[in-house]
Structure formats: structure tokens, C-alpha cells
Amino acid sequence: MRKDRDKKVYVLDTSALLSLIEDEPGADKVETIMIDAERGRAEVYVAFVSLTEVFYITLRKRDERAALERIGLIRSLAVKIQESSYELNVLAGKLKASHRISLSDAYIGALCQYLHAILVHKDPEFEQLSGSITQVRLPYKPN
């Protein structure tokens, strides 16, 4: 669990990372959060599974070189990459069992619960977790 309760703590969903990287609507909000993290005013976490998602999404759209560059870019940001743990696996399992969400989103939601963090995303799937997770919703992509 986090130690510094004075700082805002955020978890960036894969969609927030891609918004920043691809300069989509909402990128300005993610950039502001990242500036706060660089200045020590916030902590920002990224779940390991989001790195996997950014990699495969980019690999499908472009190529492996671009995918690896994006992973390198994310790792260079003022973010903490959160790996799996027993506690997070149990929390993610509970979320997955009680909501119709992907396993990746269950893990990201569990990380938010574990850290008492604010989720930054543009994924309508997270709407069902609005009662248990504080969220910053970026503009959703039109269908």
C-alpha cells in the first residue's frame, strides 16, 4: 500500500496511456497528471498488464519496433510499474467474479482499490466500478 497520503495517487489505464501517446482527446489531462508526478505532487502507477496491452495494440497497428518504443517511453515516465502480487490477484479475482469486465480491467481496478488511487481512463467498462473506485473519465471514443 502507499505511504504518502498527502499526494494524489493515480492509476493510468491502458486507454489513458494511449491517449497520451497518440495525443487523443484527454491527453492534456494525462499530461497534467504526469507533470504533477514529475514535480512530486502526485504518484502515478501503471499495471504491468497495461504494458502488455500497449505492446500488443501497437504491434497489431504498426510493428514490433514501434511497440517496444512505446513501452520504453512509458517506462521513462514518472510512473511506477506495478507487478502482480498475491493481494492484487485476490482483489482482481473478486472484481472479475462480481462484474462483467476483462481480466486486465479487473487487475487495474484492483490496483486502484489496493492503493486507494484515482483511475484515469476512457473505457466505459469501468463505469460499473464507479461506486468503489474514484475515476477521472477522459473523453470516450465515439462508436
Q: Could you write out the three-class secondary structure of 83-100?
A: CCCHHHHHHHHHHHHHCC
Q: Is 89 within a domain?
A: yes
- What's the domain range around 14? 8-136
Q: Is 127 within a domain?
A: yes
The pLDDT value given to residue 5:
66
The pLDDT value given to residue 110:
98
Higher-confidence residue of 66 and 6: namely 66
The pLDDT value given to residue 4:
58
The 10s digit of each residue's pLDDT in 34-43 is 999 999 999 9
Q: What is the mean pLDDT of residues 10-26?
A: 97
Asked if residue 59 has pLDDT above 70, the reply is: yes
The pLDDT value given to residue 116:
97
Q: Is 27 within a domain?
A: yes
Q: Is 68 within a domain?
A: yes
Q: Is 142 within a domain?
A: no
Q: Would you place residue 6 in the very low, low, confident or very high pLDDT band (cuts 50, 70, 90)?
A: confident
Q: Is 141 within a domain?
A: no
Number of structural domains (the chain) is 1
Cα–Cα distance measured from residue 54 to residue 116, given in angstroms and rounded to the nearest whole number: 24
Q: What is the mean pLDDT of residues 103-131?
A: 96
Q: Is 66 within a domain?
A: yes
Q: Is 106 within a domain?
A: yes
CATH number at residue 108: 3.40.50.1010
Q: What is the helix (H) or strand (E) element at residue 45, kind and residue range?
A: strand 42-47
Other Cβ atoms within 10 Å of 57 Cβ, number: 16
Share of the chain above pLDDT 70, in %: 96
Asked if residue 92 has pLDDT above 60, the reply is: yes
